[in-house]
């Protein structure tokens, strides 16, 4: 697929390959955490694996099983996961003109449009469009391979362990969210938004059905984004 | 469970496909862009709290919060992701069995 778009056979840049592989493997390892979290939330091994195969966007998967684990409704779980995945649409808008795929290739390209494939593609911007395309495909497919492999291992491992709480797995899920969040807190304004969303969630939790506080925290993002220009220098 | 699995998957793919079919000019509203960039931060923050501090609609302080507190320390010490998660897991399991 890396080769089929324009018909030419570009040689794979070894630097892009190395970079894509290291990203794929590192990110793929998080799949263990997802597999374990999914089992801890009451999903089966098959369901956990299908999540990684079909949903294939890590934060949304964690959100879906996380909301279910906290007693939220199916609607709350699906909404939280979908809202968390909206950034993939933005990535798609950036990648589509670069990839120029059609038909099945476009469908596969869309499925592997995630943080990492887009990130690696954009990091190759100085090397030109061919390197960017290679970065996108190699990273997207690489993450897909390792993410699914490690989800299976994590799910099987967690299944062997039994009660999630007695192994601390119920703390692993929020810790994973905190880790994902941490990477994004690159300015004081963003830290403030995170803190506001946390306080908001604590305050509204006793007053709302389970799962709803998570979705309504997007209000914090809307308010903050709306007024950002005036509050940020 | 199956409903959550398949609806989440279908909507995730539709979102991704939508991005590939929509012209980039839709991106031009800076206010929308800013809000979109902030949504993951708000949602992840809410998820940390919901998973560490709540049980259904109650706020509870238990072994999970201790685990997340240790994870926070690990993050501040710039530890890699697996170490962060494992430190939370071990702390939480230790406290769960200890009390």
- pLDDT 10s digits, A164-173: 667 787 788 7
A160 and A199 assigned to the same domain: no
Q: Please report whether residue A158 resides in a domain.
A: yes
What CA–CA distance (Å, rounded) separates A88 from A44?
27
Number of domains in chain A: 2
Q: Which of B19, B41, B59 sits opposite A92 (nearest CB)?
A: B19
Query: CA angle, corner B36, sides to B19 and A209, nearest 5?
Result: 110
**Contact at CB, B20 and A106, closer than 8 angstroms:** yes
Mean pLDDT of A181-200: 94
Q: Which of B12, B72, B84 sits opposite A57 (nearest CB)?
A: B12
Residue A4 pLDDT more than 70? no
| Structure-token pair, residue B83 | 């170490």
With a CB-CB cutoff of 8 Å, which residues 104-133 of chain A face chain B?
Answer: 106-107, 109-111, 113
Task: Read off the pLDDT band of A174 (50, 70, 90).
Answer: confident
| Structure-token pair, residue A220 | 């914090």
Handedness of CA A152, A155, A157, A159 (dihedral sign): negative
Instruction: Look up the ipTM and state it.
Output: 0.85
- Last residue within a domain, chosen from A167, A200, A216: A167
Query: Domain range for residue A74?
Result: 14-167
Chain A residues near residue B84 by CB distance under 8 angstroms? 175, 178-179
What CA–CA distance (Å, rounded) separates A80 from A215?
5
A81-135 pLDDT, tens digit each: 998 888 898 889 889 988 988 889 999 999 999 989 998 898 888 888 999 999 9
What CA–CA distance (Å, rounded) separates B86 from B64?
13
- Last residue within a domain, chosen from A110, A141, A167: A167
**Contact at CB, A193 and B31, closer than 8 angstroms:** no
What CA–CA distance (Å, rounded) separates B43 from A16?
32
Q: Please report whether residue A82 resides in a domain.
A: yes
């Amino acid at each position: 697929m890396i080769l089929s778009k324009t018909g030419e056979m570009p040689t794979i840049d070894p630097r892009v390959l190395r970079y894509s592989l290291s990203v794929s493997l590192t990110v793929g390892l998080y799949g263990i955490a997802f597999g374990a979290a999914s089992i801890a939330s009451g999903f089966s091994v098959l369901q956990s694996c299908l999540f990684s195969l079909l949903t294939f966007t890590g934060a949304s998967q964690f959100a879906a099983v996380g909301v279910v684990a906290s007693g939220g409704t199916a609607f709350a779980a699906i909404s939280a996961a979908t809202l968390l995945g909206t950034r993939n649409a933005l990535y798609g808008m950036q990648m589509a003109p670069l990839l120029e795929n059609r038909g099945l290739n476009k469908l596969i390209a869309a499925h592997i449009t995630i943080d990492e494939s887009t990130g690696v593609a954009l990091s190759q911007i100085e090397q030109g469009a061919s390197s960017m395309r290679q970065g996108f495909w190699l990273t997207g497919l690489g993450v897909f391979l390792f993410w699914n492999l490690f989800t299976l291992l994590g799910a099987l491992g967690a299944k062997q362990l039994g009660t999630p709480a007695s192994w601390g797995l119920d703390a692993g899920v929020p810790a994973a969210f905190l880790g994902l969040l941490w990477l994004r807190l690159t300015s004081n304004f963003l830290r403030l938004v995170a803190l506001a969303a946390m306080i908001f969630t604590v305050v509204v939790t006793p007053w709302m059905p389970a799962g709803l506080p998570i979705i309504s925290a997007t209000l914090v993002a809307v308010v903050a984004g709306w007024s950002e220009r005036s509050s940020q220098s | 469970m199956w409903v959550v699995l398949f609806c989440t998957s279908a909507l995730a793919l539709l979102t991704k496909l939508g991005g590939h079919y929509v012209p980039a000019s839709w991106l031009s509203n800076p206010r929308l862009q800013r809000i979109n960039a902030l949504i993951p931060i708000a949602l992840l923050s809410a998820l940390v709290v919901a998973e560490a501090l709540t049980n259904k609609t109650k706020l509870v302080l238990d072994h999970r919060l201790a685990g997340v507190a240790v994870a926070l320390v690990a993050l501040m010490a710039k530890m890699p992701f697996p170490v962060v998660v494992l430190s939370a897991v071990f702390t939480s399991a230790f406290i769960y069995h200890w009390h």
